[in-house]
C-alpha cells in the first residue's frame, strides 16, 4: 500500500490480507481511521497493489515477519468517511439507525465491518 497525504507524509506498507476483503474495501466507500491525525475516505486501486498470490511467497513473508506498516483492514473503521451502510447480503435496502452507525465509531475494525457487510453477522460484543 502506498498512500500520500498531507504535504510530505506517506503510508507505505506490505501486508497479507484476504483478496475478497481488499476487493470489497476498494469497491465500496469505506473510510479508514489510520491514527489520531488521519481519517481517510475510500481507497482506490492506485493506493493498493497486489504483489502476489503465490502461497510460497506469502509463507516467506509470514515466516520472516516481513509485513510492515498499516494493514488497512485491521485498522478502525472511520464512520465519518463510510457512506454506504446498505446491507449487501440482501436484495432490499435496510434502514440503518444513527445509533447503530454511532456504535461502530472507534469500536470496530474495517475487517469486522466488511465481514458484517459480506455475511450480515454482527461483530462479537456489538
Give tens-digit pLDDT for 13-70.
Answer: 999 999 999 999 988 878 888 876 676 777 888 999 999 999 999 999 999 999 999 9
Give residue limits of the domains in the chain: 2-119
Give the three cell numbers for residue 118. 459480506
**Is 93 a residue whose pLDDT tops 70?**
no
Angle between helices 110-119 and 19-27 (to 10 degrees): 90
Supply angle C-alpha 54, 59, 63, rounded to 5: 155
Residue 11's nearest CA partner among 44, 54, 56, 47 is 47
The candidate with the shortest Cα–Cα distance to 78, out of 117, 115, 106, is: 106
- Please enumerate in sequence order all residues whose Cβ is within 8 A of that of 101, keeping only pairs 6 or more positions apart, or say none: 79, 85
CB 72 within 8 A of CB 32: yes
In 6-126, where do the E strands start and end?
9-12, 32-35, 38-40, 76-77
Q: Find out whether 88 and 120 touch, Cβ atoms under 8 Å.
A: no
Go through the chain and tell me how many residues it has: 126
Global confidence as pTM? 0.80
Amino acid at each position: 500500500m502506498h498512500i500520500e497525504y498531507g504535504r510530505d507524509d506517506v503510508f507505505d506498507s506490505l501486508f497479507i490480507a484476504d483478496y475478497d476483503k481488499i476487493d470489497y474495501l476498494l469497491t465500496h466507500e469505506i473510510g479508514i481511521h489510520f491514527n489520531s491525525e488521519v481519517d481517510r475516505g475510500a481507497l482506490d486501486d492506485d493506493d493498493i497493489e497486489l504483489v502476489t498470490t503465490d502461497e510460497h511467497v506469502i509463507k516467506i513473508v509470514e515466516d520472516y515477519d516481513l509485513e510492515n506498516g498499516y494493514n488497512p483492514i485491521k485498522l478502525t473503521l472511520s464512520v465519518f468517511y463510510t457512506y454506504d451502510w446498505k446491507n449487501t447480503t440482501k436484495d432490499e435496502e435496510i434502514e440503518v439507525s444513527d445509533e447503530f452507525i454511532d456504535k461502530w465509531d472507534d469500536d470496530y475494525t474495517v475487517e469486522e465491518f466488511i465481514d458484517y457487510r459480506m455475511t450480515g453477522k454482527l461483530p462479537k460484543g456489538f
